[in-house]
Structure 1
Amino acid sequence: MSSCYTRIKCQDYQDLLKNYKIYKEDEAEDEEFSTPMLWIGIYIAAASLLCFLATAADVFRGFVERKLWFPCKFITLNAVSLTLLGVAMKLPLDLNSSMPGQADQLVKLSSCVFLCTIMGNYLPSLGALHDEGILSNVVALAILVITLVVNIGIELDTGVIYHNLWVEYILVSFFLMILLVILCFSALAVPTTKKYLEWKYSELHRVAFYKPEENKGKLIRVEKLIEDVRKYWMMVQTGNPQFVLARSVTCAAAGVVCLFAAFILGEAEIRLFFKAGVNWYVSSSSYKYSTLATLCIQSIGVVVGSIGPAFRWFIGTNYKYSQKASFSNLKREFMIESYWLQGLKEWREKPMDIRIHSRKCRKVLQVSKNLTVTICISIQVFILLASKTVRVISILCLRPVLSCCYHCKKLKRKLVSEHTNCNNPKPHNVGSAAEMELGRYVLLLEGEEELPARILNRISDAVNRLIHVARKNRPRRLKRLIDKSTSFKGVAEFDSDRVECLHCEEPPNVWSLPVVTLTSIAIALPNVRKSTVKKLIKSVREGLLYIGLVEKSLDVNGDLLNIISAADFLWIGVDLYRSWLDIDLRKMSAEGKTCSENLSSLSDMAKKMVLKFKEKLSEAGPREIPLNWPPKVIAANSMYRISQTILLDHQCNSRKAEVKLFDKLCTMIADITGACLTNLPRVITLKCFHSAIENREENVKLAASLLGETEEILKSVQRHELPSLNNDQFSYIDEWRFAIRNKHSSRPVSNSSNEYISVGSPEVHIDIE
């Protein structure tokens, strides 16, 4: 009996060892397979960190620019942010991994709340998207949110999420769906809102700015241009689709939802901390310490990310309260503005473009579409009414705080006003008049009250700061070059019709090509100080930045693009290597030849290049059109004509004559550059108006900076007499040449103008022909 018992006991012991061995092998195998999970967790934490940094950057930018509605620049609804967000949501989407620790349970909740916060920040960015981008990105976000909510439901049912956090998960899932519905139905109103803002912007531009008959043949005064840019800035800021969405009632409601979600996460973390003590942060999952890292990053992200939605809600509530909103007329308070429903109504009334022969099928589809749109309209109305209710409740709850803030600001304004009136009443009145004038250019939607004065003042101060900062970066070298110009006669002098044409049809001139060619000739002149040449090159470098901007902005059809490219190609060699089409200009100037010999060499080489190209044209083709010539041939033709013109009009056989010619070339460059820059006011106006509504703010900002940089230059060129041209002709250098030549050729020859007439006299013969 004893031996039998011993055998059974040994057998049990062997089975126990065998099972233990199997258990250890399984444990080692599980540990081996779970090794990548740590790296996946780190990947999730990194994606969460990037989302957090993007949100923090927008918050920081909002405070720096004093835009407390926090426009979206980094955390916008696009493919990149949605991809990062999808990676950051990996933990609540994981149905298989066991996550029994307190930190493991909390990280799923923090991910859901983090998504709520990101969605609240996404809402204004809908205004920066095109219609196609809105549809695709909103659908992608909806798929992510719905998948996440379904997975949360499965985890609640299977017990992956513990019972002590059920209430928090259910509430956050509900908030996610609310935010998704708000975002989707806000997106439906964006196209209609943009059309209305675009129409209002165009109407104000037409009434207040577009007066071409008043500006014919004259430049817009710099002071007037500054006023116009300020007005455009007011229009583009108040009509910014992001700002319009940020001050909407749905955005305020979304801010309340985000705040509630953040409070729920904070409550859960505090409750579990006091329940589990210091061990609450221990992770028992295969993600290990990456779970804690993700939890910390997302929790901080929720706090920082809630700043934007919270400010939009509070400022919107305070703004409504400051308008002395009265709830005695609730019908007006809960009135639905037409732009919210206009797009859906137009879609419902629009017939379906379907090719189905069966009348019954077409009827069923049409009825189904109408029913679907009607349901969407009902949901939209419900969302708006609920959002307006939230706003009313917010005002009632915050009435003591808002009342205190309102009276404090009122007292502060009164004290400042009294102090200003005592010291200097006149500037205050002038400022008030200017503010009232700018107030006419505020873009508001239907049903919106006037924006508070402090918001308009911030907008006005922002453009003033832009112009002030740009003034510090003004091109000083270019200004010194422009000061050498006393008129625009150099525009007519650089190319003479006495020069023989190498082709039956010459390519037209652009502003930059003669400037670069004249600079190349100036470098090739002997007996000129290197320091003087360097100063000229630096001045031309600054000038070409603005010349290129004028050319590309006014060449709407792109007809002169090839010639502009030739000038750009030529300038690279001149600026970087001091060479003209692989010909070393510095070496040429140091060879000891006279100025006339160097000019003849450049002219001969350029002529050979053009004639060689002409010989290759065996039959007519697109290359035979001068606009389509290769850049090198266009540059060579310009060098030939300009160098021949200089040889005809100047004899450079002495050192003094060479220096004098260099000064003459600098003056011609200054005249051409100054004439080109007279188009800057038009370029500034075009940048303020002719652009898509999504990009208009950046263009107006660029226009304000451009105005600040070139303000002194514009004042300098305004002193010169302009040729008699219409607004379109001012863009082309050839039109300037013809106008200046005709003007001077019609004058009687006098002793004071012999020098100019000697250059322009051949043009009299052209006019007679």
Structure 2
Amino acid sequence: MVIDQEERMGIRGCVSIEINESMYSTPVPMIGLYIAGASMVCFLAMLYDILSVFCHRKRWLPCKFFSLNSVTLTLLGIAAKLPVDLTTAMPSAIDQMSKLTGTTIICTSMAFLLPSLGTNQSSECLTNMAALSILVVTVIVNICIQISTGVIFLFIIEHMIIMCCLTLFLILMWSSAVESNRQKAVDLNSNKKFLTKCQGSMMHRLKLVYMYGYNNSPQFFLCTYLTRDVICLLCVVCLVVIMQAACRSLSLVYCPGSSDYNWSIWIIVLCQVLTIMLGSFATIFRWLNLYFSKYAFGRGEEHAEVIDEIRMNPLLLMRTSLWDRCIRVGQNIIWRVFIMVYLVLAPLEKLPRALVSFYFKPKPKFEGNEEAAEEYKDLFYHSEYRLVDEWSLDISIKELTRWIKVSKSASLKYLPQLLSKTLPSSRPYDHTDMEFKDQQDSITVSSLSLVLLVRIAQVSLPPELTESLLLAYTECHEIIGFIHNRINEVNFENQKISMHADAVWRGKGFGSLLPERYRIDSGQTDKAGLLDCALVIIRVLQNDFPHQGSYVMLNVKAISNFVTRQNYSCIEDLYNYIEQIFVDMVHIYFAQLPHAIFKDVNDSPVEEFEGRTRNAIRFLCQLESLEDQIQWSFPVGTNILRLITSELVSRV
């Protein structure tokens, strides 16, 4: 029995003291599909980023989905499996082509995702760059080994060019990462000064903060950084190399046969060529958009002064200055090589100008935004805060105008109607402790207490009475959650309250917790019966609510105590009292919105600064009609007296 088992094992393992390799290459085509799938995921991620940024009108193509992170590095590691395969024979031209595409896809991906270096924190950015460096060095070393051993015998010159580009890309990315981290530290201090030192209302200050954050966002900074010209040039080189190699591979015939990847090699090459083309065209478009837009705006070539200086003194080409960090020496050399190429092609200098004149007709500066531009230019150009240039100021004003228009189109409708109909009571408010008090008891005002009050009214009162209350809370639920998460400390208790509030609002309500006999009959017309039924339902929730000791139960008891202690003549009186409690709570809670916005924006990291400011502006635009109805509480030391309007009325 033991001998038979050993013989069966030897069929696939060791036969006659020799290794049986007949089944080793069987799963390789499936591995090829795995490689093609990883390449296609990179393609789709790039495409998603391109489509999404066009929807947001950011034609400088910031990266959000396909960025430098662990997932992207894993995908690139899988897509680059063929270039690091040292032993698999690649006899045909298409097999040799797959080695080249596997290396080039890393180059194109690095160029595409370079702006995403600005979205990571410093430690995370450097860690990801270290991982990317390991991948790049591994690929280069393996390619060199395969060229020396003969595994790669075709497209050797192309491989050498791509490896040089890969090395230059890595140097440029390290340089950009170091410079981006330095810039973040500068911008973070400047961002915090706007809300405290500027003049005007909170809306006016947020507009200034938004424009400063938009123009100094890390991704925008990296897209307008010096390296973008060199990266575009390297992308063009990679695209030309891969295209001519693809054309040659279709006509070249070398060793007969095919690799172990068999038919899957065609799918791999096709997916990777598509990804390379998309990434290259996106990077080139990013450069063309920034270059042509600035020229059409009247700025001219960005580096004209540098080129003119070198023309006057050619010896500057031989000088390599030591920059702030050693890593920037490599970038300096690359930039001077790029200038040399530009000077060689100087006779074609009029071609870009002709293209600009044809596709981008020069337009007046700040067209339609002249007054707003003058107001903000005075701030940025005559103070310590400075924008990149007038073109950046122009696009930031247009983007701000568009965002305000979109935000105002979604302004609150039902809550202002409710607050204008029901004025706040004269009971004392404690804004510090966020409590709603009467002579006997108090309710801690929070996102949970507000949603529980609405749910209690919903299950105890007829729908025709609570409709306006429900609609009012529906449109302000997001703002209430924002205030709760910002004005309270980040701890387990407050997070649990926030989660309970979301769960109560998204759930089915309290109707499922009540026995059938306590359900409101919408067809009942007896108002005295409706009042008695409503009070019974509230008492049932107060005394028999499940989950004893929970945050929800404690708030339900507190709210029910307020409601059941009063005397009511009809069901309308009960609803009016609940509505009055809701209005008073909203006045107490919404008064803290300036504190919430100030804390959210002021404590924001540079990577999230623009997004948080956009969100704050959206809330202020939605609440514009409530400015004179709520007694806002502004942060101490900011000299903010109004929420939206002030003496410095914004013209945006």
The TM-score with structure 2 as length reference comes to 0.79
Contact 1:511 1:676 in 2 (8 A): yes
**CA separation of 1:44 and 1:436: change in aligned 2, threshold 3 A:** same
Contact 2:90 2:259 in 1 (8 A): yes
1:576 paired with 2:508, answer: yes
Deviates more, 1:191-200 or 1:631-640: 631-640
Out of 559, 568, 572, which is 1:652 matched to? 568
**CA separation of 1:513 and 1:92: change in aligned 2, threshold 3 A:** closer
**CA separation of 1:401 and 1:205: change in aligned 2, threshold 3 A:** farther
In angstroms, what is the RMSD of aligned CA positions? 4.2
CA shift at 1:183, angstroms? Answer: 1.6
**CA separation of 1:118 and 1:260: change in aligned 2, threshold 3 A:** same
Q: Share of identical aligned residues, percent?
A: 22
2:148, 2:483 → 1: CA distance? Answer: 66
Contact 1:481 1:539 in 2 (8 A): yes
Letter in 1 for 2:389: L
| SS in structure 1 of the partner of residue 607 of structure 2 | coil
CA shift at 1:576, angstroms? Answer: 1.5
Out of 383, 404, 410, which is 1:467 matched to? 404
2:89, 2:501 → 1: CA distance? Answer: 63
**CA separation of 1:450 and 1:332: change in aligned 2, threshold 3 A:** farther
1:404, 1:601 → 2: CA distance? Answer: 78
Contact 2:211 2:396 in 1 (8 A): yes
Residue equivalent to 1:145: 136
Residue equivalent to 1:509: 444
Contact 1:95 1:155 in 2 (8 A): yes
Residue equivalent to 1:7: none
5+ residue gaps, structure 2: 1-15, 638-652
Letter in 2 for 1:635: N
Contact 2:452 2:556 in 1 (8 A): no
Contact 1:51 1:84 in 2 (8 A): yes
1:238-276 per-residue CA deviation (whole Å, 9 max, x = no partner) reads: 111111111111232122112111111112222333445
1:238, 1:96 → 2: CA distance? Answer: 50
Residue equivalent to 1:498: 439
CA shift at 1:307, angstroms? Answer: 2.2
1:288, 1:233 → 2: CA distance? Answer: 55
Contact 2:598 2:635 in 1 (8 A): no
Out of 544, 548, 551, which is 1:631 matched to? 551
1:298, 1:521 → 2: CA distance? Answer: 58
1:187 paired with 2:177, answer: yes
Residue equivalent to 1:425: none
1:241, 1:127 → 2: CA distance? Answer: 4
Matched positions, count:
595
Q: Higher Cα Rg: structure 1 or 2?
A: 1
Residue equivalent to 2:610: 697
CA shift at 1:109, angstroms? Answer: 0.8
1:465, 1:283 → 2: CA distance? Answer: 60
CA shift at 1:78, angstroms? Answer: 0.9
Residue equivalent to 2:78: 87
Residue equivalent to 2:415: 478
1:102-149 per-residue CA deviation (whole Å, 9 max, x = no partner) reads: 110111111111111111123211111112212221111111111111
**CA separation of 1:283 and 1:68: change in aligned 2, threshold 3 A:** farther
Residue equivalent to 1:173: 163
1:71-94 per-residue CA deviation (whole Å, 9 max, x = no partner) reads: 111221111111111111111111
1:166, 1:498 → 2: CA distance? Answer: 88
1:194-242 per-residue CA deviation (whole Å, 9 max, x = no partner) reads: 1112122233443325x7xxxxxxxx5xxx62x4443222111111111
CA shift at 1:429, angstroms? Answer: 8.8
**CA separation of 1:685 and 1:440: change in aligned 2, threshold 3 A:** farther
1:682, 1:639 → 2: CA distance? Answer: 26
Out of 531, 535, 541, which is 1:595 matched to? 531
**CA separation of 1:492 and 1:560: change in aligned 2, threshold 3 A:** farther
1:643 paired with 2:536, answer: no
Residue equivalent to 1:298: 272
The TM-score with structure 1 as length reference comes to 0.68
1:587, 1:74 → 2: CA distance? Answer: 50
1:103, 1:147 → 2: CA distance? Answer: 23
Out of 464, 474, 478, which is 1:545 matched to? 478
Residue equivalent to 2:7: none
1:258 paired with 2:178, answer: no
Contact 1:197 1:239 in 2 (8 A): yes
2:73, 2:212 → 1: CA distance? Answer: 32
Letter in 2 for 1:386: I
Matches within 5 A, 1:216-227: 220=201, 225=203, 227=204
Residue equivalent to 1:437: 375
Contact 1:113 1:261 in 2 (8 A): yes
| SS in structure 1 of the partner of residue 611 of structure 2 | helix
CA shift at 1:671, angstroms? Answer: 4.0
Letter in 1 for 2:439: R
1:386 paired with 2:306, answer: no
CA shift at 1:295, angstroms? Answer: 0.7
Residue equivalent to 1:706: 619
**CA separation of 1:634 and 1:96: change in aligned 2, threshold 3 A:** same
Contact 2:429 2:436 in 1 (8 A): yes
CA shift at 1:321, angstroms? Answer: 3.7
5+ residue gaps, structure 1: 1-24, 212-219, 345-376, 418-427, 614-628, 730-769
**CA separation of 1:275 and 1:468: change in aligned 2, threshold 3 A:** same
**CA separation of 1:728 and 1:584: change in aligned 2, threshold 3 A:** farther
Residue equivalent to 2:394: 457
CA shift at 1:184, angstroms? Answer: 2.1
| SS in structure 1 of the partner of residue 393 of structure 2 | helix
Contact 1:563 1:634 in 2 (8 A): no
CA shift at 1:451, angstroms? Answer: 2.6
